[in-house]
Structure 1
Amino acid sequence: MKKKMVLVLSLLLVATLVFAGCSKNNNKPSEQASSSNSGETSKASEPAEETIKINAYMSSFGDDPKDTELYKLWKGKMEAYIGKKLDIKWNYVNSDDYPEKIKLTLASGDTPDIMSGVKDAEVMFQFGNQGSLLDIAPYLDEYAPNYKSYLESTKFADKSMYTPEGKMFFFGDGFQNDTGLAGSAYPALYRFDVFQKHNIKVPENWDEFYDAAVKLKELYPDSYPVNSQEWPKFTDALALSNHTKSDIYWNGEKYVYGPTEESFKEGLMYIRKLYDEKLLDPEFLSQSQDQLQAKVTTGKSFMLPLAWGGWWEKYSVPDQGVVWGAAVNPKNEKYGDQWVLGPALLGKTIYPNYGIMISKNTKNPELIIKLLDYQYSPEMIDLMHWGVEGKTYEMIDGKREFINKNGDWKENSDFGLGTPWTRQGFVYAPQNYSTDYIKYKKVQFFAKGQFEEMRPQEGMGKFTSSETAIAPYEQAPVIRLSKEDEAKKAQIMTAVQTYLDENIYKFLLGERDLSEWDAFKKELSDIGDYQSIVDMMNAQVSK
């Protein structure tokens, strides 16, 4: 799947900057429809259509999407939107080399009109403040109404996207979810054929989870009923249900250090109980994904509290009667509704650490911003994610479904759309949740005492509350520290995290007793003053 994702991302990255167009002409968009470079007229005595030249610098995985039908449709719509032809010169840079080469390009002062961003907003802020990048903030009201609507609906956008002086140096990566469901691709997975055979209730909370594990151990004494993937980890499942995290996190009001919270310790105690009673595979911290798959397909394990939803199909062996299905993650009644892993944020959201930069030297900033903003319009999002009705999707019972005749999404990929589990359309257009989850296969999903056939994300969205499933840290204020403070944070927290990980393993595997937890917290504080980092981050929020 990695090879597919690389190919798709190449297509996505390459094509994106097309939008990013810029111009060498000083006319404003409202004036451009009737302007002409040469002053010559067409046979109908109309001004010749102007061509705008754009220089785009971008990361590339080796593919070029310009021959795809989707690219051509996109380009045609962009040209119609601005009333001009686009002549784009692409400057491709290998993705491995891009982070360093873009820094050199920005430092040189000779910057292309459009530049693909780097996954480090600090770099973009740095060169923006140094004068290499266009401040797009003054243009938003007039030229970027679509993008502005994303900013307005994003929590803490005032802190994450702007400098303290109110400047903005890049278009942030967008996300759109109009389903009304805060779905997640990480449910619990259970071997439903065994549960149904022995009339065992599929768990909905941790007490029922424990009871089911005990019953399965009695029925299959040579098994370890509970297991866990390499990632997500078992500890993540308990942290989500206990409303904490294994690092510094935003709790909705302030930043705190999760491992020192009582709820974090309670999660470790639960896992340790399963381990001591031989209900949990003793190799759950060290096994590979292949080793886990061998166990869950041969009756050695039956329960995974947190897993990627797509694995149910690999874990099932239908001709041998091995049937895995999905369910909402077990919750801790003490803390209420569980948080979910990787939720689909509702509405429109901007992610602040990735985007498109515009050169300060560009000759027509209004046109560039207008082009980029068009990517955030409903029309272009629709095209880039769904394609064309009758060719890439069809309407079934009033809802869109992708056409996938040969089962490997080749038709859509050839058209220019992505393959499953990768972003659809062009990279910097907002991601569209409805076209992401719909490419998953339907699974038997258990909730509210019954089984239904649906996609994992649909089940996770339908049977969790969209108001409570999203952890506060999923929409936290972005903290931008100085180089000195960032270095201090890295030095302290690296040492603290290393010591934490080592001792969590000891606590879980019985090498250290949980009665020593308070002493351990003191040791952790002696390793590094994590509280000073928490205080520093909260001080930044209050500014």
Structure 2
Amino acid sequence: MKRGFRRFWSTCMACLTVFCLVSAGFAADNLTPVKLTVFLGRPSQQPTPDNKIFKKIEQEFGVTFEFDILAGDLDQKLGVLIAGGDYPDMMTGDTKLIDAGAFIPLEDLIEQYAPNLKKHYEKAWYLMKYNDGHVYVLPNYGVFQGDYRYNESYGPAFWIQKAVLKEFGYPKVKTLDQYFDLIQQYKEKYPTIDGQETIGFEILSEGWRNFCLKNAPQHLVGNPNEGGVIVKDGVAKIFAGTDIDKRYFKKLNEVNQLGLIDRESFVLSYDQYLAKLTSGRVLGMFDQRWNFQRAEESLKTQEKILRTYAPCPVVYDESIKDYYLDRPPVNVNRGFGISVNAKDPVRIIKLLDALYDERWQKLLYWGVEGDDYLVNEQGRFYRTPEQRVQYDDPAWKQANTGLDFAAYSPKMEGTFSDGNATSPGMQPEEYYESLKPEDKELLNAYGYKTYGEFFSTPPENPMHYPAWSIPIEDGSPAKIASLKLDDLANKYLPKAILAQPAEFDTIWAEYVVEIGKVDVKAYEDVVNAGIQERIKNAQAQ
């Protein structure tokens, strides 16, 4: 009731704020200098004071930014924000913030001041509504226009160093057994890399990123990423503790006996995990590419291209069709929201609406024409080798791009009206030309032009997809059950992996018994209600 009252009160105050702003007749071309405070919920680096993209925003809109960039644990940071109520103007979305009443509803602001955003989100509106019917966060990914190309996957896969594939003549890797066999052979042949012990397989289990520990089994049996459930015929059930789950962790137990799993895996922080990948001595892991992309960028800067990773969408056996790659879903509750403390919500929504214009989208994702990319006689965007090298340099990005801000902003995905892709990585000819010689050699060996071709072509997303984005209110029985399942996974799965083989079944049986004590039905009921609500709304729309 307390959370519901918080949301109700923040909604009332937001409506009053919007009414007052409208009555005051705020001009569309308001250029009065303003500094917006912004919380970015992922680790990154501050842009330089003279960053050329942010300077252009300041010149055109009178807006500068003060960024609070996540350092450390996200849940802890959100707890501090919520406890103090000292919210910045804009924040990256999270259901904890919504439940705490930290965001204002956006639907009226969009209707009155954001025609570009209104059109952009019109087909995704039913997914964007929170449990109370309001829209609090603008999804940052998953709403497409024109053609979408699967040149890369930034989602889940088992990843393997390109050096391993090269060493063994670029074999097809289809099953989990084949994947670990390659890693074992390579580690035996090269017990050290750059003077440090070779790590066969790394597992990240810190905080909310423990999907690297838990989520693989759903993919190994040919299901897409639904989070902690598998959805069949519109019905979600957890897979924790099932035979599907057990088979994977028993394999990891066997792999551990071979000395392939990092002994420090289960005590690593996220930054320590990235540092290990950046060292170039980790041969493989299950992860989502966006989660370890910073390590890849560092390896490229070090010119250790063969120590970067290729995807292996492996399954338990070759009769199963892989389903790792999906049609990117609407990333609900994960873009920017406007906080209840924002002094000028209209100014913010107008800014985001203006930045959705094609001219600004090209600036944000391609850069400045002539400096960061060129246009050929056919009107196609491309980059020189020198421009591609600078784009891979994190220090250059800090001074010349606004990508960390743009990553959470509403964006065009697919193609612009002139037929060019909305980012360099999605431009087919630019994608291939930007690849390093090592990447081209690897892809040519498999007969591919892109890394996306390692995956099976995904079907259309189900209307509910993905189940992991269905909001579950903090403090509810469903949320309590979800957290208990997480705690049990963090307690028992490392024990099962590290146990002696003779102890595995006993530990697993204890895990299953403990899962049986959790109110799993409360969790599944909320997820299934969310699935049915999305299906109903999609059909109505």
Give the corresponding residue for 2:537: none
What aligned pairs does 1:277-292 form with structure 2 within 5 A after superposition?
278=258, 280-281=260-261, 283=263, 285=265
Distance 1:476 1:195, change over 3 A: closer
Distance 1:440 1:222, change over 3 A: closer
Give the corresponding residue for 1:465: 456
Give the C-alpha shift of residue 391 in structure 1.
1.6
- 1:145 maps to 2:134: no
Give the corresponding residue for 2:486: 497
What aligned pairs does 1:466-481 form with structure 2 within 5 A after superposition?
466-467=457-458, 475-476=466-467, 478-481=469-472
Of 531, 534, 541, the match for 2:521? 531
Give the C-alpha shift of residue 382 in structure 1.
1.6
- 1:203 maps to 2:173: yes
Deviations 1:164-197 (A, max 9, x none): 4x44345444566654217324665556667656
Distance 1:225 1:241, change over 3 A: farther
Give the C-alpha shift of residue 389 in structure 1.
0.6
Q: 2:256, 2:498 within 8 Å by CA — same for their partners in 1?
A: yes
| One-letter identity of the residue aligned with 1:380 | W
Give the C-alpha shift of residue 241 in structure 1.
2.7
Give the corresponding residue for 2:445: 450
Give the C-alpha shift of residue 467 in structure 1.
1.6
Deviations 1:37-82 (A, max 9, x none): xxxxxxxxxxxxx75647665237997878554345335655xxxx
Give the corresponding residue for 1:228: 201
CA distance in 1, matches of 2:98, 2:464: 23
Question: Which secondary structure state, in structure 2, belongs to the residue aligned with residue 331 of structure 1?
Answer: coil
- 1:379 maps to 2:359: yes
Q: 1:117, 1:357 within 8 Å by CA — same for their partners in 2?
A: yes
Deviations 1:380-432 (A, max 9, x none): 212222222102222479343372676736565434x14xxx53648534386
- 1:401 maps to 2:383: yes
Distance 1:516 1:531, change over 3 A: farther
CA distance in 1, matches of 2:19, 2:56: 19
CA distance in 2, matches of 1:71, 1:315: 27
Give the C-alpha shift of residue 228 in structure 1.
1.3
| One-letter identity of the residue aligned with 2:454 | F
Question: Which secondary structure state, in structure 1, belongs to the residue aligned with residue 135 of structure 2?
Answer: coil
- 1:355 maps to 2:344: no
| One-letter identity of the residue aligned with 1:535 | D
Question: Which secondary structure state, in structure 1, belongs to the residue aligned with residue 89 of structure 2?
Answer: strand
Give the C-alpha shift of residue 217 in structure 1.
7.9
CA distance in 2, matches of 1:309, 1:116: 25
Of 138, 141, 153, the match for 1:184? 153
Give the C-alpha shift of residue 267 in structure 1.
1.5
Give the corresponding residue for 1:339: 324
Of 129, 132, 141, the match for 1:161? 129
CA distance in 2, matches of 1:69, 1:494: 43
Distance 1:523 1:91, change over 3 A: same
Distance 1:441 1:163, change over 3 A: same
- 1:509 maps to 2:486: no
Of 225, 231, 243, the match for 1:251? 231
Give the corresponding residue for 1:70: 53
CA distance in 1, matches of 2:35, 2:299: 45
| One-letter identity of the residue aligned with 2:179 | F
CA distance in 2, matches of 1:426, 1:290: 20
CA distance in 2, matches of 1:275, 1:360: 50
Q: 2:250, 2:504 within 8 Å by CA — same for their partners in 1?
A: yes
CA distance in 2, matches of 1:51, 1:316: 43
| One-letter identity of the residue aligned with 2:328 | L
Deviations 1:253-303 (A, max 9, x none): 243222133322222233334344x27347374586599679975xxx866
CA distance in 2, matches of 1:314, 1:435: 19
| One-letter identity of the residue aligned with 1:384 | L
Distance 1:476 1:372, change over 3 A: same
Distance 1:279 1:69, change over 3 A: closer
CA distance in 2, matches of 1:318, 1:411: 15
Distance 1:236 1:283, change over 3 A: farther
Distance 1:431 1:527, change over 3 A: farther
Distance 1:435 1:520, change over 3 A: farther
Give the C-alpha shift of residue 355 in structure 1.
1.9
Distance 1:260 1:385, change over 3 A: same
What aligned pairs does 1:254-333 form with structure 2 within 5 A after superposition?
254-276=235-257, 278=258, 280-281=260-261, 283=263, 285=265, 308=292, 323-324=306-307, 326-332=309-315, 333=318
| One-letter identity of the residue aligned with 2:488 | Y
Distance 1:104 1:312, change over 3 A: closer
CA distance in 2, matches of 1:302, 1:93: 35
Give the C-alpha shift of residue 449 in structure 1.
8.2
Question: Which secondary structure state, in structure 2, belongs to the residue aligned with residue 256 of structure 1?
Answer: strand
Deviations 1:95-141 (A, max 9, x none): 689963897468xxxxxxx931354345446648xxx94x5424645
Give the C-alpha shift of residue 463 in structure 1.
2.8
| One-letter identity of the residue aligned with 1:269 | K
| One-letter identity of the residue aligned with 2:337 | I
CA distance in 2, matches of 1:201, 1:23: 65
Distance 1:472 1:309, change over 3 A: farther
Higher alpha-carbon Rg = 1
Give the corresponding residue for 1:414: 399
| One-letter identity of the residue aligned with 2:201 | S
| One-letter identity of the residue aligned with 1:328 | P
Question: Which secondary structure state, in structure 2, belongs to the residue aligned with residue 201 of structure 1?
Answer: coil
- 1:120 maps to 2:94: yes
Q: 1:160, 1:477 within 8 Å by CA — same for their partners in 2?
A: no
| More helix per residue | 2
Distance 1:76 1:153, change over 3 A: farther
Q: TM-score, normalised by structure 1?
A: 0.63
Question: Which secondary structure state, in structure 2, belongs to the residue aligned with residue 259 of structure 1?
Answer: coil
Q: 2:231, 2:237 within 8 Å by CA — same for their partners in 1?
A: yes
Q: TM-score, normalised by structure 2?
A: 0.63
Gaps of 5+ in 1: 1-20, 34-49, 79-85, 107-113
| One-letter identity of the residue aligned with 2:200 | N
Q: 1:115, 1:358 within 8 Å by CA — same for their partners in 2?
A: yes
CA distance in 2, matches of 1:238, 1:199: 28
Distance 1:22 1:115, change over 3 A: farther
Give the corresponding residue for 1:18: none
Give the C-alpha shift of residue 441 in structure 1.
5.9
